Amino acid sequence: MKEIFERVSVRSYTDQPVEAEKIEDILRAGMCAPSAGNERPWHFVVLKDPKDFLPLMQISEHLQMLPQAKYVTQKRYRFDFWVQDCCAALENMLIEAKHLGLGAVWCGIYPDTEKIIRLCCMYGLPETVEVLALMPIGYPAIERKVHDRYKSDRVHIGRWENVLRDGATLDSLGFSDKRSASDEQMITS
Ligand SMILES: Cc1cc2nc3c(=O)[nH]c(=O)nc-3n(C[C@H](O)[C@H](O)[C@H](O)COP(=O)(O)O)c2cc1C
């Protein structure tokens, strides 16, 4: 899926407004994410009106760039996996934004309690709700180059000490034709 390989954080945007259908698509993508016990613990607060963004500037210097913003929040649910669940939703949303020709960036809020409390006060969130992240979204003002980030030395075969040598591929280890792994392809400590 090329969007996964081409996605980068986008932090500056044109003045072009983001269409409502695109925002809905992004929300739908978020809500397609897997979640523990299928709890789907997320709620999203969409900020469209620029006057709603202004208070955000007090939250983070990174947020000087908001054409449209979404919060991902959660209420208390049965399983304690809400962070993982909402992160999966956020990642889906970043990829869908890219697919739609938009740019976005994940701005972390949780676990900064002070920021969470301030956001809850600003936007009327109940105390039972946590704020995981903010996600500004807009049409990218600049194109960023994408680099290959694959690192074979982050891949361990079977046991931690068996690390792939630089440039070695899983195929060269015989994954596809069931040959046994070649020691030459691995650094074994
Ligand atoms: C949990 C989390 C918190 C982040 N918080 C911020 C942030 O506050 N401000 C920001 O500009 N980028 C933030 N980012 C984006 C990262 O800086 C970015 O993903 C990373 O530098 C890699 O760049 P890329 O997204 O272009 O691949 C955050 C990303 C994650 C996953």
Full-model pTM:
0.88
pLDDT digits (tens, 9 = 90+) for 141-174: 998 889 999 988 888 888 898 888 887 788 777 6
Q: What is the atom index within ligand 1 of the atom nearest the CA of 7? A: 27
The protein residue with its alpha carbon nearest to ligand 1, atom 31, reads 106
Q: Ligand 1 centre from 35 Cα, in Å?
A: 22
- Report how far residue 112's alpha carbon sits from residue 168's, in angstroms, rounded to the nearest whole number: 41
Does residue 11 have its Cβ closer than 6 Å to ligand 1? Answer: yes
Question: Residue type for 8, please?
Answer: V
pLDDT digits (tens, 9 = 90+) for 92-130: 999 999 999 999 999 899 899 998 888 888 888 888 888
Task: Return the best residue to mutate from 106, 137, 142 for the ligand 1 pocket (most ligand atoms within 8 A of CB).
Answer: 106
Q: Ligand 1 centre from 124 Cα, in Å?
A: 26
The three-state secondary structure class of 140 is: strand
- Report how far residue 97's alpha carbon sits from residue 87's, in angstroms, rounded to the nearest whole number: 15
Q: Ligand 1 centre from 9 Cα, in Å?
A: 7
pLDDT digits (tens, 9 = 90+) for 64-88: 566 666 667 666 666 689 999 999 9
| Integer angstrom CA distances of residue 66 from 51, 86, 98, 127 | 11, 21, 17, 25
Residue 24's nearest CA partner among 111, 96, 107 is: 96
The three-state secondary structure class of 166 is: coil
Residue 139's nearest CA partner among 6, 22, 37 is: 22
Does residue 81 have its Cβ closer than 6 Å to ligand 1? Answer: no
| Integer angstrom CA distances of residue 49 from 74, 107, 176 | 23, 19, 53
Q: Give the range among 15-19, 41-45, 178-182 with minimum mean pLDDT.
A: 178-182
Write the DSSP assignment of 51-82 as a string of letters.
HHHGGGGGT-GGGS--SSEEEEEE---SSS-H
Q: Ligand 1 centre from 79 Cα, in Å?
A: 26
